């Protein structure tokens, strides 16, 4: 696949890194010679210094033969015009744009991105995506990652196995026998930095991070089975009143009436503006690193500190300070992957990587076949994929025990006619089933092949 990426920042770099590793033909455009130089030196991609919305620059990047343009610069207007130029002058089949301003995304403006106006096939709003992920993590405090599939009827949760976890040192097959009515399947395990797909004879150990696929209704029971029965936070302090912080605060007001929220915003004008938009949230003006202001926000009595500023260092340090001042737990937004491995050792309980959220959305449209959703885990070491089974799929027909599934792949759930089915050896996949699969990175191509239309079908 030939792909042009406009924007060589953290998101653009991350997308280019993933696509280049999969041997796609990738060109990256950015106005910064330094960013283009860095991407040329580290990745097998073409780097072009220039404006991503200019026709001559897009042509130099290979727009005439491109299959996809992904516009993820810092500026919404540049992203939109880049897609418009790619469509009108070069007839690029797929255009993806990152749009951050919520003004463009209001429901009554939904026709803006149609083919007749601004022809953008996929609009990605990182603020909305990350905001929803933050809300899911708040609602399920025992999970380190939560993603929904199949019309939100299926959930993938990443759960840390603690020393007192009741399911450790027990073969996975035995867990199914002990809890036959629990539709949960352990599809992946991260142990000592190594990710693998477990077999039925494998056991979970203390310190493991288990990736579990289950139904939406059984997530809390599954967390309890793993020893996580943390209560949902009722007193929350949010650091950062940007688009994400405002979205989360507003959603908490609407969805969780009993939750008390206080929000800290460093810019006075912004603090006044969001205070006018929020009905019950207490907005404080000042720095989240100001200990006096944290105490004024009653941080010592808070259940959760959520740090959502646009500065990684502020998010990390304010989370650590909140914990030391008595806050029960914290959740930080961290863009720079270099900080991720340090979080546990310095006192950050959990973090969200917004770059990974955006990359996962892009991969959903890069993957070939009937792929409905993709979520990347462990820095791209594996993917959770929701795909629709076709009549020509090799998975359709035989019992799962007879299907030729690679060892690096495991089916977590099957969604059929509005019902979620837990897979077992006797089950047969039918056409139009939506299958949720955990696949190691080297098996993703195999998943794509399983869910593509065969030429023989025609």
What is the chain's pLDDT, residue by residue, as a tens digit (458 residues)?
Answer: 899 999 999 889 989 998 998 889 999 999 999 999 999 999 999 999 999 999 999 999 999 999 999 999 999 999 999 999 999 999 999 999 999 887 887 777 777 888 778 888 889 888 888 999 999 999 898 898 999 999 999 999 999 998 888 888 889 988 888 888 889 999 999 999 899 999 988 999 998 999 999 999 999 999 998 889 888 899 999 999 998 999 999 999 998 778 999 999 999 999 999 999 999 999 999 999 999 999 999 999 999 999 999 999 999 999 999 999 999 999 999 988 888 878 878 889 989 988 888 888 888 888 876 888 999 998 889 999 999 998 888 888 889 888 878 889 999 999 999 999 999 889 999 999 999 999 999 998 888 888 875 443 33
Q: What is the location of CATH 3.30.70.1450 in the chain?
A: 130-226, 357-451
Predicted pLDDT at 455: 40
| 3-class DSSP assignment, residue 428 | strand
Q: Rounded to the nearest 10 degrees, how much is the dihedral formed by the CA atoms of 12, 18, 20, 23?
A: -150
**H or E segment and range at residue 20:** helix 10-21
Which pTM value belongs to this model?
Answer: 0.83
Order across the sheet with 209-215: list the strands: 143-149, 154-160, 209-215, 185-191, 194-196
Distance of CA 82 to the CA centre of its chain: 25
Where in the chain is CATH 3.40.50.720? Answer: 2-124, 235-355
What is the number of residues in the chain?
458
Question: What integer pLDDT is reported at residue 104 of this predicted model?
Answer: 83
Question: Which among 390, 351, 367 has a CA at the least distance from the CA of 439?
Answer: 367
Tell me which CATH code domain 2-124 carries.
3.40.50.720
Spatial separation of the C-alpha atoms in residues 37 and 16, rounded to whole Å = 14
Measured between alpha carbons, how far is 358 from 340 in angstroms, rounded to an integer? 17
CATH superfamily of 357-451: Regulator of K+ conductance, C-terminal domain (3.30.70.1450)
CB 46 within 8 A of CB 35: no
221 vs 348: CA distance, rounded Å: 25
In eight-state DSSP terms, residue 6 is E
Given this model, what pLDDT does residue 184 score? 93
What φ, ψ does residue 309 adopt, rounded to 5°? -75, 175
pLDDT value of residue 456: 39
CATH 2.60.40.10 assigned to 235-355: no
pLDDT at 453: 55
- pLDDT reported for residue 119: 87
For domain 130-226, give the fold.
Alpha-Beta Plaits (3.30.70)
- What percent helix, strand, coil does the chain show, rounded to 5? 40, 25, 35
pLDDT of residue 188: 96
Give the per-residue pLDDT at 458: 31
Are 233 and 255 in contact by the 8 Å Cβ rule? The answer is no
Q: Which residue has the tokens 């289950």?
A: 214
């Amino acid at each position: 696949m030939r792909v042009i990426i406009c924007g060589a920042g953290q998101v653009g770099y991350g997308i280019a890194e993933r696509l280049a590793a999969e041997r796609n033909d990738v060109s990256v455009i950015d106005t910064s010679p330094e960013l283009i130089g860095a991407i040329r030196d580290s990745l097998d991609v073409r780097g072009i210094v220039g404006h991503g919305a200019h026709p001559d620059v897009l042509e130099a990047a290979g727009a005439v033969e491109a299959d996809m343009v992904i516009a993820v610069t810092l500026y919404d207007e540049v992203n939109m015009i880049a897609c418009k130029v790619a469509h009108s002058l070069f007839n690029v089949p797929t255009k993806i744009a990152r749009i951050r301003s919520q003004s463009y995304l209001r429901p009554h403006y939904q026709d803006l991105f149609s083919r007749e106006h601004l022809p953008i096939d996929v609009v990605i709003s990182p603020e909305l995506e990350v905001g929803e992920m933050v809300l899911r993590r708040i609602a399920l405090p025992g999970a380190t990652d939560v993603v929904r599939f199949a019309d939100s009827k299926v959930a993938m949760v990443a759960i840390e196995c603690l020393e007192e976890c009741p399911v450790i040192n027990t073969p996975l097959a035995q867990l199914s026998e002990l809890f036959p009515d629990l539709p949960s399947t352990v599809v992946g395990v991260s142990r000592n930095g190594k990710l693998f797909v477990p077999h039925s004879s494998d056991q979970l150990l203390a310190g493991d991070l288990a990736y579990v696929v289950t139904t939406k209704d059984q997530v809390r029971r599954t967390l309890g089975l793993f020893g996580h029965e943390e209560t949902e936070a009722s007193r929350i302090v949010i650091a950062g009143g940007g688009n994400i912080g405002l979205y989360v605060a507003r959603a908490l007001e609407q969805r969780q009436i009993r939750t008390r929220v206080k929000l800290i915003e460093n810019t006075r004008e912004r603090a006044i503006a969001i205070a006018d938009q929020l009905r019950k949230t207490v907005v404080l003006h000042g720095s989240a690193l100001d200990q006096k202001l944290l105490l004024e926000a009653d941080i010592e009595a808070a259940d959760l500190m959520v740090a959502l500023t646009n500065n990684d260092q502020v998010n990390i340090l304010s989370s650590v300070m909140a914990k030391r001042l008595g806050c029960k737990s914290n959740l930080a937004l961290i863009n720079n992957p270099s900080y991720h491995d340090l979080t546990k050792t310095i006192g950050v309980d959990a973090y969200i990587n917004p770059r990974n959220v955006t990359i996962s959305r892009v991969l959903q449209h890069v993957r070939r076949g009937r792929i409905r959703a993709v979520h990347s885990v462990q820095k791209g070491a594996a993917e959770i994929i929701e795909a629709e089974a076709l009549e020509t799929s090799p998975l359709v027909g035989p019992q799962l025990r007879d299907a030729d599934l690679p060892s690096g792949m495991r089916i977590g759930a099957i969604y059929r006619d509005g019902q979620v089915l837990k897979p077992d050896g006797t089950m047969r996949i039918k056409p139009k089933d939506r299958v949720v699969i955990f696949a190691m990175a080297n098996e993703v191509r195999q998943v794509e092949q399983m869910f593509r239309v065969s030429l023989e079908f025609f």
